[in-house]
Amino acid sequence: MGYKVIWTDEAIADLHALVTFISQDNPEAAVRFGEVVVSKSFILAEHPRLGKRLRHSDRETLRELSAPPYRVIYEIRDADGGSILIRMVRHGARQEPEIQ
């Protein structure tokens, strides 16, 4: 049985903003990018530890999946029956996020 993938409002807003930004120059690339990010997130349902541990975090449950040049930052929640919480989508060059 796979994990349930849940997108936070922040992550949805991040993805929407990125797709909107990319679409200003290349609408087709924006659609492809959005599809890649969403499909990668759903791979986590079967492989929750696929991503590497989040830099500068001592929490094993905070991880990131690469969608160059962006990072899908997520949290593994085993206690609630197994879910993946997609926390944010960020450019890889941005400062490390504060996650509580």
Tokens of 24: 């200003």
pLDDT 10s digits, 25-77: 999 999 999 999 999 999 999 999 999 998 777 788 999 999 888 999 999 99
The architecture (CATH level 2) of 4-89 comes to: 2-Layer Sandwich (3.30)
Asked if pLDDT for residue 13 goes beyond 70, the answer is yes
Asked if pLDDT for residue 97 goes beyond 80, the answer is no
Asked if pLDDT for residue 96 goes beyond 70, the answer is no
Quickly count: other Cβ atoms within 10 Å of residue 40's Cβ: 15
Which pTM was predicted?
Answer: 0.88
